[in-house]
Amino acid sequence: MSDCLFCKIAAGEIPSNKVYEDEQVYVFHDIDPQAPTHFLVIPKAHIVSCGAITAENSAVVAHCFEVISKVTKDLGLTDFRVVSNCGASAGQSVFHLHFHVLAGRDMTWPPG
């Protein structure tokens, strides 16, 4: 999608602090970290949110979780939280599917 921040980051058109990349997925540090470790996992394909996942595009979502498992292992993280905000009132501010991975501090439940 031409006017999407995360599409531009995945394409290298806007700089980011990259953690991992493959053909399908891009991983980078959040610009406003909410934990000592806070990175975002995004599909390179534009999907708006969890609410737009279908049988046709869900394979990349499974791949995102394989990447989360690999990257957290590589970083030595055993305890972490994965969050995806879907919709503005749930806290979504960038409308390109992303999974927050947060670690390095105690997490509270329920989230605010």
Closer Cβ to Zn ion, 35 or 50, answer by number: 50
Q: What CA–CA distance (Å, rounded) separates 35 from 98?
A: 17
Q: What is the DSSP letter of 79?
A: S
Q: Which stretch binds Zn ion (CB under 5 A): 32-40, 62-70, 71-79, 88-96?
A: 88-96
- Does residue number 16 form part of the binding site for ligand AMP (CB under 6 A)? yes
Q: What CA–CA distance (Å, rounded) separates 87 from 94?
A: 9
Of these residues, 38, 96, 98, 100, which one is catalytic? Answer: 98
Q: What CA–CA distance (Å, rounded) separates 92 from 103?
A: 20
- For the question of residue 63 being annotated catalytic, the response is no
Strands (E) located in 22-111: 25-29, 37-43, 81-83, 99-103
- Does residue number 72 form part of the binding site for ligand AMP (CB under 6 A)? no
Partner from ligand AMP, Zn ion, none contacting 31, C-beta within 5 to 8 A by type: ligand AMP
Give the residue numbers annotated as catalytic, written as ranges: 98
Interface residues with Zn ion (CB under 5 A) are 1, 4, 6-7, 46, 96
